[in-house]
Structure 1
């Protein structure tokens, strides 16, 4: 099973030459990038899970409505929100969408499992920092979903052969031929492959002049769209099963 997920997050990088990009412009970039992702998913008829950074949820109501109406899952991505902020946002957006938010993803600032269970989340999909040296730091990890404190804990996927994780950075820099082989070989060994990308990776950095490392500019923007389209076309060609996170877990 291929679990395709996207983090909707604003790009935090500063701009070169003292150029300023307002919070409103950053939000619009995230919205446009997400719409590009949705067009590709619609073209390939594949459903995915979108983890929305909690501070952006209420600012992107119309976008979240569109995502949900197209059959994709809405979940939360916690960067630095408090338990109270998460709980309030969850209640408000569930009333707005008339659907339950079951999943949450965390990286640096992690709320306790007990607190998340009390908020009626059903699963947690934690991720690690992804950088140019990250793939070489941890070569072993569990790749099975476990139950803890009444929650399903979904780990990041890792190739059992190359030992590369399926994070946003690896997708961006690996040649697609190698990435497809990695997915194919992993599914021979594991029950699922969890892939995650960030909405900011679809930004046209030449247009906005964000000061990002050279290796993060590679295959970004339109090249990232083409790369995603290529992967999904291959998944359909090979008739691989795909699923939203909440459907696969429950």
Structure 2
């Protein structure tokens, strides 16, 4: 099973003609990139899970409605929000969508399992920082879903042979043929492959000055769109099943 997920995040390091973009302009870019992803998914009839940054969730009502109307799942991404902010965002989004938000993803800042359980989440998808040095780390670890106080803890997926994780940077940087081989080999070994991309990767670098490490500027924008198109076409051609996180876990 392929669990394809997207993190809806603003990239604060974007400028144009020497002017740093405002929060409103950054949000417009994030929404535009997400709509582009939705069109690509619809073209290939693939359902996915979108983890939206809690700090922009209440400003993205129409986008979240669109995501759900297309059959995708909405979950939360916690960058640096407090427990109270998470609770408020969850109540607001659930009232707008008229359905519960089951999942939350965390990286740098983590809220305890017990506190997240009290907010009635049912799964946690924790991810790690990725930089240019991560291929040199020893990444062998369990990729099994664990249960903790009634919550499912979903780890990052790792290729059992290359030892590369299925994070945003690997998808962007690795040639598609090699990436497809990774997925094929991983599915022979594991029951699922969890893939995640970031919406800011679909920002066209030619239109903006994007402040990020040089190795992260490779294959941005339209090239990422094309790469996602190729990957989804390949999954369909090979009849590889895909699912939303909540459907697979629950």
Query: Which TM-score bucket, shorter chain as reference?
Result: over 0.9
Farther-moved stretch of structure 1 (11-20 vs 120-129): 11-20
Deviation of 1:149 after TM superposition, in Å, equals: 1.4
Which aligned runs of 4 or more in structure 1 are off by greater than 6 angstroms?
A: none
Tell me the distance in 2 between the aligned counterparts of 1:5 and 1:205.
22
Q: Give 1:46's aligned residue.
A: 46
Q: What CA deviation, in whole Å up to 9, does each residue of 1:124-164 have, x standing for no partner?
A: 00000111112322321110000011100000000000000
Farther-moved stretch of structure 1 (141-150 vs 42-51): 141-150
Tell me the distance in 2 between the aligned counterparts of 1:23 and 1:65.
21
Tell me the distance in 1 between the aligned counterparts of 2:145 and 2:121.
15
Q: Give 1:101's aligned residue.
A: 101
Deviation of 1:213 after TM superposition, in Å, equals: 2.1
Tell me the distance in 2 between the aligned counterparts of 1:80 and 1:4.
24
Deviation of 1:206 after TM superposition, in Å, equals: 1.6
Aligned ranges 1:46-125 → 2 under 5 Å: 46-125=46-125
2:196 corresponds to 1:196: yes
Report the 3-state secondary structure (helix = DSSP H, G, I; strand = E; otherwise coil) of the residue aligned with 1:30: helix
Report the 3-state secondary structure (helix = DSSP H, G, I; strand = E; otherwise coil) of the residue aligned with 1:195: strand
Tell me the distance in 1 between the aligned counterparts of 2:62 and 2:154.
29
Deviation of 1:15 after TM superposition, in Å, equals: 3.6
Deviation of 1:16 after TM superposition, in Å, equals: 7.7
Deviation of 1:18 after TM superposition, in Å, equals: 4.0
Deviation of 1:13 after TM superposition, in Å, equals: 1.7
Report the 3-state secondary structure (helix = DSSP H, G, I; strand = E; otherwise coil) of the residue aligned with 2:163: coil
Task: Give the structure-1-normalised TM-score.
Answer: 0.98
Q: Give 1:160's aligned residue.
A: 160
Report the 3-state secondary structure (helix = DSSP H, G, I; strand = E; otherwise coil) of the residue aligned with 1:242: coil
Deviation of 1:17 after TM superposition, in Å, equals: 7.3
Farther-moved stretch of structure 1 (10-19 vs 94-103): 10-19
Tell me the distance in 1 between the aligned counterparts of 2:14 and 2:224.
21
Farther-moved stretch of structure 1 (206-215 vs 1-10): 206-215
Task: Give the structure-2-normalised TM-score.
Answer: 0.98
Does the 8 A contact of 1:16 with 1:211 survive in 2? Answer: no
Does the 8 A contact of 2:47 with 2:242 survive in 1? Answer: yes
Does the 8 A contact of 2:14 with 2:208 survive in 1? Answer: no
Tell me the distance in 2 between the aligned counterparts of 1:73 and 1:163.
29
Q: What CA deviation, in whole Å up to 9, does each residue of 1:181-226 have, x standing for no partner?
A: 0000100000000000000000011211122222111111000000
Tell me the distance in 2 between the aligned counterparts of 1:138 and 1:36.
35
Deviation of 1:109 after TM superposition, in Å, equals: 0.5
Deviation of 1:237 after TM superposition, in Å, equals: 0.2
Tell me the distance in 2 between the aligned counterparts of 1:217 and 1:91.
36
Q: Give 2:211's aligned residue.
A: 211
Q: Which has the higher helix share?
A: 1
Alignment RMSD (CA, Å): 1.1
Unaligned runs of at least 5 residues, structure 1: none
Report the 3-state secondary structure (helix = DSSP H, G, I; strand = E; otherwise coil) of the residue aligned with 1:171: helix
